[in-house]
């Protein structure tokens, strides 16, 4: 049991070191990591232990291992971010690529729920409200809330890119690697009826999201309204 705990400790040393270096920016998006041999030698662990840690990082999609080339920090692109985190598909199962039709970004005081869930219990947050269309029709409305301390100056960057997670990684070294979505049926309601020029009783899909970074911190809360008349929310489970 002692040997097993020691092996786990060494494995975590490699795993945590790579994560810390990615978060600090030492290993930037797309950069090549040291080899298993070099990483093991630097950290005082076996090559096999280093390999095990890198395999787990690959499983979590933190890094990419390329045959004959080495291991690289996963780089979020607009396409990959959409594929992983925007789950709407058309009738043929193809990725829906939405167009940003409206956006407001403001800094405000956080509420009790946001302080309870977001990393750092932030006193202030940035609220990003966006509307999207697809093929000329309304598609969704999103309200994302993020801590101001993790994303300083975010409001000054508006208008923001179509895929926020690419900006988070490239500008703030905050890589979103996982998200939890809760979905339920609902109605559009009076407030959004005017935004989308649709009846308040229009059926919609209501989603709430918690997004996690490399350190397993909740860095974003998101509330989304999806109009799924021409699209569907698709999830593949392996």
- In tens, the pLDDT along 126-154 reads 999 999 999 888 999 999 999 999 999 99
User: How far apart are alpha carbons 225 and 58 in whole angstroms?
Assistant: 32
- CB neighbour list of residue 18: distance below 8 Å, 6 or more residues apart: 27, 33, 39, 53, 54, 57, 62, 63
User: How far apart are alpha carbons 74 and 178 in whole angstroms?
Assistant: 13
- Percent helix, strand and coil across the chain, each rounded to 5? 35, 35, 35
Tens digit of each residue's pLDDT (9 = 90 or more) over 36-93: 889 989 999 899 989 998 998 888 888 888 888 889 988 877 666 666 788 888 888 8
Domains and CATH numbers, the chain: 2-73 (1.10.10.10), 78-233 (3.40.1410.10)
Q: Give SS3 for 26.
A: coil
Question: Global pTM?
Answer: 0.81
């Amino acid at each position: 049991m002692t040997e097993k705990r020691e092996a786990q400790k060494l494995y975590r040393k490699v795993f945590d070191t790579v994560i810390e270096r990615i978060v600090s920016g030492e290993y930037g998006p797309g950069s090549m990591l040291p080899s298993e041999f070099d990483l093991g030698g630097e950290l005082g662990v076996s090559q096999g232990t280093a390999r095990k840690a890198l395999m787990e990082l690959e499983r979590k999609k933190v890094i990419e291992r390329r045959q004959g080339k080495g291991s690289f920090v996963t780089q979020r692109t607009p396409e990959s971010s959409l594929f992983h985190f925007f789950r709407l598909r058309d009738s043929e199962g193809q990725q829906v690529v939405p167009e940003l039709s409206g956006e407001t970004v403001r800094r405000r005081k956080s509420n009790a729920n946001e302080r309870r869930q977001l990393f750092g219990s932030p006193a202030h947050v940035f609220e990003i409200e966006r509307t999207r269309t697809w093929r000329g029709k309304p598609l969704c409305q999103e309200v994302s809330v993020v801590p101001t301390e993790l994303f300083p100056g975010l409001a000054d960057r508006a208008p923001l890119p179509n895929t926020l997670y690419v900006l988070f990684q490239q500008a703030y070294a905050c890589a979103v690697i996982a998200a939890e979505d809760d979905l339920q049926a609902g109605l559009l309601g009076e407030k959004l009826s005017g935004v989308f020029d649709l009846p308040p009783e229009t059926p919609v899909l209501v989603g709430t999201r918690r997004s996690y970074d490399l350190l397993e911190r909740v860095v974003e809360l998101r509330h989304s309204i999806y109009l799924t008349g021409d699209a569907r929310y698709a999830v593949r489970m392996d």
